[in-house]
Amino acid sequence: MSTVSLTPDSIAGALLGTAVGDALGMPVEGLSHANVRTYYKGIKEYRDDDQRGDLDAGQWTDDTQMTFALVRALAAHPEAPDAWPTAVADEYVALRAEARRWGETTTTAIDRLAKGSPPAESGVPDRPTDGAAMRAAPLGAWWAAHDLDRTVAFEAVRPVLSVTHRHPAALAAGWGQVVAVRTLLEWTPDTVDRAAFWDRLVDATSWAEEHLDGDDRVSGRLRALSDQLDAFPLNLGDACDGVGVWADEAWPFASAMVARRAHLLENTLLSGINVGGDADTTGAMMGAMLGALHGWAAFPDEWGDGLEASDQLKTEAEAFADAVL
Protein backbone atom coordinates (compact mmCIF):
# COMPACT_ATOMS: atom_id res chain seq x y z
CA MET A 1 0.00 0.00 0.00
CA SER A 2 1.18 3.51 -0.81
CA THR A 3 2.70 5.95 1.62
CA VAL A 4 0.96 8.69 -0.39
CA SER A 5 -2.17 10.01 1.35
CA LEU A 6 -4.61 9.23 -1.44
CA THR A 7 -8.31 9.94 -1.21
CA PRO A 8 -11.21 9.14 -3.56
CA ASP A 9 -11.61 12.90 -4.04
CA SER A 10 -8.02 13.38 -5.21
CA ILE A 11 -8.32 10.47 -7.63
CA ALA A 12 -11.65 11.81 -8.90
CA GLY A 13 -9.97 15.18 -9.32
CA ALA A 14 -7.28 13.73 -11.56
CA LEU A 15 -9.75 11.74 -13.66
CA LEU A 16 -12.66 14.18 -13.93
CA GLY A 17 -10.21 17.07 -14.19
CA THR A 18 -9.11 15.48 -17.44
CA ALA A 19 -12.66 15.72 -18.78
CA VAL A 20 -13.17 19.29 -17.56
CA GLY A 21 -9.98 20.52 -19.20
CA ASP A 22 -10.83 18.63 -22.38
CA ALA A 23 -14.35 20.14 -22.55
CA LEU A 24 -13.10 23.66 -21.85
CA GLY A 25 -10.45 23.42 -24.55
CA MET A 26 -12.65 21.58 -27.08
CA PRO A 27 -14.02 24.60 -29.00
CA VAL A 28 -10.63 26.25 -29.48
CA GLU A 29 -8.63 23.14 -30.43
CA GLY A 30 -6.31 24.08 -33.28
CA LEU A 31 -6.83 27.84 -33.03
CA SER A 32 -4.03 30.32 -32.47
CA HIS A 33 -3.96 32.45 -29.34
CA ALA A 34 -5.07 35.43 -31.44
CA ASN A 35 -8.00 33.52 -32.91
CA VAL A 36 -9.11 32.27 -29.49
CA ARG A 37 -9.45 35.94 -28.59
CA THR A 38 -11.03 36.92 -31.90
CA TYR A 39 -13.67 34.21 -32.13
CA TYR A 40 -14.36 33.44 -28.47
CA LYS A 41 -13.14 36.53 -26.57
CA GLY A 42 -11.23 34.04 -24.47
CA ILE A 43 -12.53 30.84 -22.92
CA LYS A 44 -14.00 31.39 -19.46
CA GLU A 45 -16.63 28.63 -19.39
CA TYR A 46 -17.89 25.74 -21.50
CA ARG A 47 -18.70 26.85 -25.03
CA ASP A 48 -20.16 25.27 -28.16
CA ASP A 49 -17.71 24.66 -30.98
CA ASP A 50 -18.99 27.43 -33.24
CA GLN A 51 -16.52 26.71 -36.02
CA ARG A 52 -16.84 22.93 -36.52
CA GLY A 53 -20.33 22.62 -35.06
CA ASP A 54 -19.75 19.00 -34.01
CA LEU A 55 -19.77 19.34 -30.20
CA ASP A 56 -21.78 21.41 -27.75
CA ALA A 57 -20.80 23.19 -24.55
CA GLY A 58 -19.52 20.78 -21.91
CA GLN A 59 -18.90 17.90 -24.30
CA TRP A 60 -15.50 16.27 -24.45
CA THR A 61 -13.34 14.68 -27.14
CA ASP A 62 -11.23 11.57 -27.63
CA ASP A 63 -8.96 12.64 -24.76
CA THR A 64 -11.67 11.84 -22.22
CA GLN A 65 -12.95 8.83 -24.15
CA MET A 66 -9.52 7.21 -24.13
CA THR A 67 -8.72 8.18 -20.55
CA PHE A 68 -11.87 6.60 -19.19
CA ALA A 69 -11.40 3.52 -21.37
CA LEU A 70 -8.12 3.15 -19.50
CA VAL A 71 -9.93 3.81 -16.19
CA ARG A 72 -12.32 0.93 -16.88
CA ALA A 73 -9.56 -1.45 -17.91
CA LEU A 74 -7.43 -0.73 -14.84
CA ALA A 75 -10.43 -0.92 -12.50
CA ALA A 76 -11.20 -4.39 -13.85
CA HIS A 77 -7.60 -5.60 -13.34
CA PRO A 78 -6.01 -3.40 -10.64
CA GLU A 79 -3.51 -6.04 -9.51
CA ALA A 80 -2.72 -7.56 -12.91
CA PRO A 81 -0.65 -5.22 -15.13
CA ASP A 82 0.02 -8.08 -17.52
CA ALA A 83 -3.68 -8.02 -18.42
CA TRP A 84 -3.79 -4.29 -19.07
CA PRO A 85 -2.66 -4.07 -22.71
CA THR A 86 -5.32 -6.50 -23.92
CA ALA A 87 -8.02 -5.00 -21.71
CA VAL A 88 -7.13 -1.48 -22.84
CA ALA A 89 -7.05 -2.56 -26.48
CA ASP A 90 -10.53 -4.04 -26.15
CA GLU A 91 -11.83 -0.83 -24.55
CA TYR A 92 -10.28 1.30 -27.29
CA VAL A 93 -11.72 -0.79 -30.11
CA ALA A 94 -15.15 -0.62 -28.48
CA LEU A 95 -14.99 3.17 -28.84
CA ARG A 96 -14.67 3.12 -32.63
CA ALA A 97 -18.40 3.59 -33.17
CA GLU A 98 -18.45 6.76 -31.07
CA ALA A 99 -15.00 8.14 -31.87
CA ARG A 100 -14.64 11.90 -31.45
CA ARG A 101 -11.88 13.74 -33.26
CA TRP A 102 -9.48 10.85 -33.26
CA GLY A 103 -6.23 11.86 -34.85
CA GLU A 104 -4.26 9.94 -37.44
CA THR A 105 -2.12 8.14 -34.86
CA THR A 106 -5.05 6.91 -32.80
CA THR A 107 -7.14 5.91 -35.81
CA THR A 108 -4.29 3.92 -37.32
CA ALA A 109 -3.56 2.09 -34.07
CA ILE A 110 -7.21 1.30 -33.33
CA ASP A 111 -7.76 0.02 -36.86
CA ARG A 112 -4.80 -2.32 -36.41
CA LEU A 113 -6.19 -3.55 -33.12
CA ALA A 114 -9.61 -4.11 -34.68
CA LYS A 115 -7.98 -6.25 -37.37
CA GLY A 116 -6.34 -8.44 -34.74
CA SER A 117 -2.87 -6.97 -34.34
CA PRO A 118 -1.36 -7.58 -30.89
CA PRO A 119 -1.40 -4.48 -28.65
CA ALA A 120 2.39 -4.40 -28.52
CA GLU A 121 2.55 -4.09 -32.31
CA SER A 122 -0.35 -1.75 -32.92
CA GLY A 123 0.99 1.54 -31.60
CA VAL A 124 2.29 3.95 -34.24
CA PRO A 125 6.10 4.21 -33.97
CA ASP A 126 6.82 7.25 -36.14
CA ARG A 127 4.60 10.05 -34.80
CA PRO A 128 5.87 11.74 -31.61
CA THR A 129 2.48 13.12 -30.59
CA ASP A 130 1.04 13.95 -27.18
CA GLY A 131 -1.58 11.17 -27.15
CA ALA A 132 0.18 8.96 -24.62
CA ALA A 133 0.45 11.84 -22.15
CA MET A 134 -3.17 12.93 -22.51
CA ARG A 135 -4.49 9.63 -21.13
CA ALA A 136 -1.84 8.86 -18.48
CA ALA A 137 -3.61 10.20 -15.37
CA PRO A 138 -5.10 6.83 -14.31
CA LEU A 139 -1.65 5.26 -14.47
CA GLY A 140 -0.27 7.97 -12.20
CA ALA A 141 -3.05 7.37 -9.69
CA TRP A 142 -2.50 3.60 -9.85
CA TRP A 143 1.22 4.03 -9.20
CA ALA A 144 0.55 6.40 -6.30
CA ALA A 145 -1.75 3.80 -4.76
CA HIS A 146 0.79 1.00 -5.09
CA ASP A 147 4.02 2.95 -4.50
CA LEU A 148 6.23 0.63 -6.56
CA ASP A 149 9.85 1.00 -7.50
CA ARG A 150 10.23 3.31 -10.51
CA THR A 151 11.55 0.63 -12.83
CA VAL A 152 8.76 -1.77 -11.89
CA ALA A 153 6.14 0.93 -12.42
CA PHE A 154 7.65 1.94 -15.76
CA GLU A 155 7.63 -1.63 -17.02
CA ALA A 156 3.98 -1.92 -15.96
CA VAL A 157 2.71 1.25 -17.62
CA ARG A 158 4.89 1.37 -20.73
CA PRO A 159 2.97 -1.40 -22.58
CA VAL A 160 -0.30 0.47 -21.93
CA LEU A 161 1.07 3.75 -23.27
CA SER A 162 2.43 1.84 -26.25
CA VAL A 163 -0.93 0.43 -27.35
CA THR A 164 -1.45 3.46 -29.57
CA HIS A 165 1.85 5.38 -29.31
CA ARG A 166 5.27 3.78 -29.66
CA HIS A 167 7.48 6.73 -30.57
CA PRO A 168 10.08 7.29 -27.81
CA ALA A 169 9.14 10.96 -27.40
CA ALA A 170 5.46 10.08 -27.00
CA LEU A 171 6.33 7.47 -24.38
CA ALA A 172 8.68 9.83 -22.53
CA ALA A 173 5.95 12.48 -22.33
CA GLY A 174 3.44 9.84 -21.28
CA TRP A 175 5.73 8.68 -18.50
CA GLY A 176 6.27 12.31 -17.53
CA GLN A 177 2.52 12.76 -17.08
CA VAL A 178 2.36 9.59 -14.98
CA VAL A 179 5.06 11.03 -12.72
CA ALA A 180 3.40 14.46 -12.63
CA VAL A 181 0.05 13.08 -11.48
CA ARG A 182 1.66 10.72 -9.00
CA THR A 183 3.76 13.56 -7.57
CA LEU A 184 0.90 16.04 -7.23
CA LEU A 185 -1.20 13.45 -5.44
CA GLU A 186 1.41 13.62 -2.66
CA TRP A 187 0.81 17.32 -2.00
CA THR A 188 -1.90 19.86 -1.29
CA PRO A 189 -2.07 23.37 -2.78
CA ASP A 190 -0.43 24.65 0.43
CA THR A 191 2.47 22.20 0.37
CA VAL A 192 3.27 21.93 -3.35
CA ASP A 193 6.99 22.39 -4.04
CA ARG A 194 7.49 23.79 -7.51
CA ALA A 195 11.25 23.26 -7.65
CA ALA A 196 10.91 19.64 -6.53
CA PHE A 197 8.06 19.08 -8.99
CA TRP A 198 10.08 20.41 -11.92
CA ASP A 199 13.19 18.49 -10.94
CA ARG A 200 11.18 15.27 -10.82
CA LEU A 201 9.79 15.86 -14.30
CA VAL A 202 13.22 16.54 -15.78
CA ASP A 203 14.70 13.51 -14.02
CA ALA A 204 11.77 11.25 -14.95
CA THR A 205 11.76 12.10 -18.65
CA SER A 206 15.56 11.94 -18.90
CA TRP A 207 15.51 8.54 -17.25
CA ALA A 208 12.77 7.29 -19.57
CA GLU A 209 14.59 8.57 -22.65
CA GLU A 210 17.71 6.67 -21.60
CA HIS A 211 15.59 3.51 -21.34
CA LEU A 212 14.04 4.08 -24.76
CA ASP A 213 16.37 5.21 -27.55
CA GLY A 214 18.07 8.34 -26.28
CA ASP A 215 15.71 10.81 -28.01
CA ASP A 216 15.91 13.69 -25.53
CA ARG A 217 13.52 16.20 -27.08
CA VAL A 218 11.04 16.07 -24.16
CA SER A 219 13.57 16.50 -21.34
CA GLY A 220 15.36 19.05 -23.50
CA ARG A 221 12.21 21.16 -23.73
CA LEU A 222 11.73 20.95 -19.96
CA ARG A 223 15.29 22.13 -19.40
CA ALA A 224 14.76 25.01 -21.80
CA LEU A 225 11.70 26.05 -19.80
CA SER A 226 13.40 25.82 -16.42
CA ASP A 227 14.31 29.52 -16.30
CA GLN A 228 11.02 30.61 -17.90
CA LEU A 229 8.65 29.58 -15.13
CA ASP A 230 8.54 33.08 -13.66
CA ALA A 231 8.77 34.92 -16.97
CA PHE A 232 6.20 37.52 -17.97
CA PRO A 233 3.76 37.33 -19.71
CA LEU A 234 1.97 34.23 -18.48
CA ASN A 235 1.76 32.74 -21.98
CA LEU A 236 4.56 30.20 -22.30
CA GLY A 237 3.60 29.20 -25.85
CA ASP A 238 6.52 31.02 -27.47
CA ALA A 239 9.00 29.51 -25.02
CA CYS A 240 7.66 26.06 -25.89
CA ASP A 241 8.09 26.80 -29.62
CA GLY A 242 4.42 26.10 -30.20
CA VAL A 243 1.70 24.19 -28.39
CA GLY A 244 0.69 21.76 -31.10
CA VAL A 245 0.10 18.02 -30.95
CA TRP A 246 3.76 17.06 -30.57
CA ALA A 247 4.89 15.45 -27.34
CA ASP A 248 7.70 17.95 -26.78
CA GLU A 249 5.32 20.90 -27.14
CA ALA A 250 1.93 20.32 -25.51
CA TRP A 251 2.98 18.28 -22.49
CA PRO A 252 5.99 20.43 -21.44
CA PHE A 253 3.82 23.51 -21.91
CA ALA A 254 1.00 22.06 -19.79
CA SER A 255 3.48 21.06 -17.09
CA ALA A 256 5.09 24.50 -17.04
CA MET A 257 1.75 26.27 -16.73
CA VAL A 258 0.80 24.05 -13.79
CA ALA A 259 4.22 24.41 -12.16
CA ARG A 260 4.18 28.18 -12.12
CA ARG A 261 0.71 28.63 -10.61
CA ALA A 262 -0.29 25.23 -9.21
CA HIS A 263 -2.17 26.74 -6.27
CA LEU A 264 -4.63 28.51 -8.63
CA LEU A 265 -6.94 25.92 -10.18
CA GLU A 266 -9.30 28.00 -12.36
CA ASN A 267 -6.88 30.71 -13.40
CA THR A 268 -4.12 28.27 -14.31
CA LEU A 269 -6.35 25.93 -16.30
CA LEU A 270 -8.01 28.72 -18.28
CA SER A 271 -4.70 30.50 -18.90
CA GLY A 272 -3.24 27.40 -20.52
CA ILE A 273 -6.32 26.69 -22.63
CA ASN A 274 -6.54 30.26 -23.92
CA VAL A 275 -3.09 29.96 -25.48
CA GLY A 276 -4.76 27.77 -28.12
CA GLY A 277 -2.96 25.08 -30.07
CA ASP A 278 -3.89 21.55 -29.01
CA ALA A 279 -6.09 23.17 -26.38
CA ASP A 280 -8.34 20.21 -25.56
CA THR A 281 -5.34 17.99 -24.88
CA THR A 282 -3.47 20.74 -23.06
CA GLY A 283 -6.59 21.27 -20.98
CA ALA A 284 -6.96 17.55 -20.31
CA MET A 285 -3.37 17.20 -19.11
CA MET A 286 -3.49 20.33 -16.99
CA GLY A 287 -6.89 19.34 -15.60
CA ALA A 288 -5.51 15.98 -14.52
CA MET A 289 -2.52 17.55 -12.77
CA LEU A 290 -4.51 20.29 -11.07
CA GLY A 291 -7.25 17.83 -10.13
CA ALA A 292 -4.72 15.51 -8.52
CA LEU A 293 -3.46 18.41 -6.42
CA HIS A 294 -6.74 20.12 -5.52
CA GLY A 295 -9.27 17.25 -5.62
CA TRP A 296 -12.62 17.15 -7.39
CA ALA A 297 -14.41 19.11 -4.67
CA ALA A 298 -12.31 22.18 -5.50
CA PHE A 299 -13.63 22.46 -9.07
CA PRO A 300 -16.34 25.10 -9.62
CA ASP A 301 -19.86 23.70 -9.36
CA GLU A 302 -20.72 24.95 -12.83
CA TRP A 303 -17.86 22.96 -14.31
CA GLY A 304 -19.18 19.79 -12.71
CA ASP A 305 -22.83 20.50 -13.46
CA GLY A 306 -22.20 21.42 -17.10
CA LEU A 307 -19.86 18.54 -17.90
CA GLU A 308 -21.27 15.92 -20.23
CA ALA A 309 -22.13 12.64 -18.44
CA SER A 310 -20.51 13.90 -15.25
CA ASP A 311 -22.44 11.45 -13.07
CA GLN A 312 -21.29 8.52 -15.19
CA LEU A 313 -17.68 9.70 -15.17
CA LYS A 314 -17.80 10.18 -11.41
CA THR A 315 -19.19 6.67 -10.94
CA GLU A 316 -16.35 5.25 -13.05
CA ALA A 317 -13.79 7.30 -11.11
CA GLU A 318 -15.21 6.02 -7.83
CA ALA A 319 -15.07 2.42 -9.07
CA PHE A 320 -11.43 2.96 -10.04
CA ALA A 321 -10.64 4.43 -6.63
CA ASP A 322 -12.33 1.50 -4.88
CA ALA A 323 -10.28 -0.92 -6.95
CA VAL A 324 -6.88 0.63 -6.32
CA LEU A 325 -7.11 1.97 -2.78
> Tens digit of pLDDT for each residue in 123-160?
999 999 999 999 999 999 999 999 899 999 999 999 99
**What would the 3-class secondary structure string for 81-95 be?**
HHHHHHHHHHHHHHC
pTM score of the predicted model? 0.97
Contact 198, 141 (CB under 8 A): no
Split at pLDDT 50, 70, 90, the class of 207 is very high
Whether the predicted pLDDT of 56 surpasses 50: yes
Buried b (16+ CB within 10 A) or exposed e, 258-288: bbbbbeebeebbbbbbbbbbbbbbbbbbbbb
CB atoms within 10 A of CB 292: 30
Query: Which of 23-27, 173-177, 186-190, 228-232 is the least confident region?
Result: 228-232
* Percentage of the chain lying above the pLDDT 90 cut: 93
Give the Cα-Cα-Cα angle 116, 122, 124 (nearest 5 degrees). 150
Section 282-296 average pLDDT: 98
**Sequence-distant (≥ 6) Cβ neighbours of residue 283 within 8 angstroms:** 20, 21, 22, 23, 24, 25, 269, 272, 273
Q: What is the mean pLDDT of residues 286-292?
A: 98
- Burial class from Cβ neighbours inside 10 Å (0-12, 13-18, 19+) for residue 78 reads middle
* pLDDT of 3 above 60: no
Evaluate if residue 119 carries a pLDDT over 60. Answer: yes
Which pLDDT score, from 0 to 100, does residue 1 have?
43
Mean pLDDT of the chain: 95
* pLDDT level of residue 4 (50, 70, 90 thresholds): low
**How do the domains of the chain map onto residue ranges?**
8-324
225-268: pLDDT as tens digits: 999 998 877 678 888 878 999 999 999 999 999 999 999 999 99
Nearest to 236 by CA among 256, 262, 221: 256
Q: Residue 199 region, left (φ>0) first, then alpha (ψ -120 to 50), else beta?
A: alpha
Whether pLDDT at 177 is above 50: yes
User: Using alpha carbons only, what angle is made at residue 238 by residues 237 and 241, rounded to the nearest 5 degrees?
Assistant: 90
pLDDT of 46 over the 50 cut: yes
User: pLDDT band at residue 214, thresholds of 50, 70 and 90?
Assistant: confident
Which CATH number applies to 8-324?
1.10.4080.10
CA distance 296 to 286: 14
Q: What is the DSSP letter of 233?
A: S
pLDDT of residue 234: 67
Provide mean pLDDT across the span 172-176: 98
Q: Is 44 helix (H, G, I), strand (E, B) or coil?
A: coil
| CA angle at 169 for the pair 140 and 261, rounded to the nearest 5° | 55
Are the C-beta atoms of residues 134 and 281 closer than 8 Å to each other?
yes
